Amino acid sequence: MMPDLGKYAVTVLSAYGVSLVLIAALVGASLWRARRVRAALRKVETRRTAR
Partner 1 sequence: MSLWEYANPVRFIRLTDRVLPALSGAAVLCLVVGLVWGFFFTPDDYRQGSTVKIIYLHVPAALMAINAWLMMLVASLIWIVRRHHVSALAARAAAPVGATMTVIALATGAIWGQPMWGTWWAWDPRLTSFLILFLFYLGYMALWEAIENDDAAADLTSILCLVGSVFALLSRYAVNFWNQGLHQGASLSLDAEENVADVFWLPLLVCIAGFVLLFVALVFLRTQTEIRARRMRAILARERMA
Tell me which residues touch partner 1 (CB under 8 A): 1, 3-9, 11-12, 14-16, 18-19, 22-23, 25-27, 29-31, 33-34, 37-38, 40-41, 44-45, 48
HEC profile of the chain: CCCCCHHHHHHHHHHHHHHHHHHHHHHHHHHHHHHHHHHHHHHHHHHHHHC
Residue 24 CB, nearest approach to partner 1 (Å): 11
Q: How far is the CB of 25 from partner 1 (least distance, A)?
A: 8
The vertex-22 CA angle with 34 and 35, nearest 5°, equals 10
User: Minimum CB separation from partner 1 for residue 9, in Å?
Assistant: 7
